[in-house]
Every structure is written in structure tokens, then in C-alpha cells.
Amino acid sequence: MSKKNKKQGSNGHPPSISKKAYKDNLHKLQVELVKLQRHFIQCDDKILIILEGRDAAGKDGTIKRIVAHLSPRETRVVALGKPSDRDRTSWYFQRYVPYLPAARELVLFNRSWYNRAGVERVMGFCTEAEYQEFMGSVSDFEHMLVRSGIKLLKYYLDISKPEQKQRLEERERDPLTQWKVSTLDDLALKKWKQYSLARDEMLAHTHNPIAPWTIVCANNKHLTRLNIIKDLLSRLHYAGKDERLILPDPKIVFAFDISNIENGRLAK
């Protein structure tokens, strides 16, 4: 990250956090996550967390910190690959349904059915009719999930174009992140405006009181991880919650509002 971003991130982020403070806070929050898991196992809760965002927005790193000390038997991370020929001829949501949480489970979707409103829309991997069908039915689908007892949290991680460019370049140089490199990386930057428009349409049409979107200004990875964990802990009930520890920074994590599209809170 540049010297400028260390002092103050774009979109008015507060100063960055020191490594020691980050590690100390992360440890405390991970203890809270263990408390949460103990509670939802006892109560047969079903929790589904969706993380969406631009390429290199920090979804992988955030999920890694959330699940680091949770029981693998009751925790699942879902990151589906390219749809098969059978998937393409099935009901669109069908390939996601088998991965939904049962009682006592926490499931995190690293990208989700919103691929249709993002990369598929921008890259032409779906037809206009398929896109319109998705936009018209996704809220009904999510409302069914919520009515069935699933606790649904949707996060959109938003980063600036310079930050994305830097992260994609670092990804190419780092031998430990070669598995993340994609032929679509260059197009993520070249089609920045198209992705912005697709994001805006998706948020505007799929945000509602039953299944709302939470926006995360994700230019600082450490603050992103801490504040997403704080936010999800603040939204879910569990015994022994440390209320002082789990207050997210409203400059980093905030509920989507249609005004965000024009007021500069989303990267253009």
C-alpha cells in the first residue's frame, strides 16, 4: 500500500492499524466467533454469509480469518467454479441449493448466485433474458431462504481502481498466489466502468429489508477483515457477547442506500 494510503485510505478511511493492534484485535474477535459457533450449534441455527466484490477485493483473506479457529464439521466455505453443461441447462439457483446450511452450520459463499449480476453480465456469459430473469427472481429466492430460518448476511467489498490494479500486480508476482491469477484479471481493469454499472444495478435492485446489502470499503485489508467480523458478530445473537469489542467502523462498513451510487461512497 502506498504511503498515502497508510496515512489515510481513499473514500475517507481512517488511518491504518498497526500489525500488533491488528493481530490483537483479530485474536479477540476470533474468540467471539468461537462463542458464536458454540451458541448456534446449541440453538440449531443456520447461518449463510455471502461475500461479493470486485476481483482482489479481499474476500479470500477475510474468509480465511473468519474460519481459522472454527469447527470444520460445522463450517463450510463454498467457492464454485465454472458451471458445467448440466448446470447451464438447470434452474439457475439449483447448483447453489445443495450447499445451503443445515441446522448448526455456518456457510460462507465466496461469490454466489450474484455471479450472474456481475461477471456473467459484464463478460457476456449469460443472455439478457437470463440476466433479467435472475434480477426478477433473486429476491424471492432469498426471501424463501430467510423464511425457512436461514440467517442471511450479504457483504459487498468495494475497492478503488488503483488499489485493484496494485493487488492484481502483486498477485502475479507472488508465487504463493499464482492459483488466483485468472485470464479475466486484465479485463477487470479494462472493464472497470462496466463492472461499476453492473454493481450499481445489482445493489439497487436486490437490496431490501429482508435481505439487505452491507457495503465494505475494502482498500485496507486489515481493517476490512476486522470490521466485517465485527459487523457479523453484531448482527447475530449469541451468549457472552462482548458488545464493546464488536462495534464496526461506520466509515468502513455501512448499510447500502441508493444514494451511495451518487454520493461517492462507492468506487467509480
Nearby residues of 101 by Cβ (< 8 Å), 6 or more positions away: 46, 47, 48, 76, 107, 150
**Residue 73 in contact with residue 13, Cβ under 8 Å?**
no
Residue that wins the pLDDT comparison between 82 and 185: 82
Tally of structural domains, the chain? 1
**Over pLDDT 90: what percentage of the chain?**
90
Asked if residue 186 belongs to a domain, the reply is: no
**pLDDT of residue 183 exceeding 90:** no
Domain harbouring 239, CATH code: 3.40.50.300
CA–CA gap between residue 167 and residue 30 (Å, rounded): 26
Mean pLDDT of all residues belonging to the chain: 94
Residue 103 has pLDDT above 80, yes or no: yes
DSSP-assigned states of every residue in 30-52:
HHHHHHHHHHHHHTT-EEEEEEE
Residue 167 has pLDDT above 90, yes or no: yes
Is residue 219, in this structure, part of any structural domain at all? yes
Nearest-CA neighbor of 262 among 169, 200, 176? 200
pLDDT digits (tens, 9 = 90+) for 5-40: 444 444 444 458 999 999 999 999 999 999 999 999
**pLDDT tens digit string along 138-160?**
999 999 999 999 999 999 999 99
Residue 196 maps to a domain: no
> Is 229 within a domain?
yes
pLDDT band at 242 (very low <50, low <70, confident <90, very high): very high
Question: What residues form DSSP beta bridges with 77?
Answer: 108
- Would 3 be classed as within a structural domain? no
Compute the distance between CA of residue 4 and CA of residue 184 in angstroms, rounded to an integer: 29
Give me the domain span that covers residue 214: 19-79+88-106+126-178+204-251
Q: What is the pLDDT of residue 184?
A: 81
Is residue 4 in some structural domain? no
Per the domain annotation, does 24 fall within a domain? Answer: yes
Please report whether residue 145 resides in a domain. yes
Can you give the pLDDT at residue 15? 56
State pTM to two decimals. 0.93
Phi, psi values for residue 227, rounded to 5°: -75, -30
Beta pairing class for 150-158 and 253-255? unpaired
CB 134 within 8 A of CB 201: no
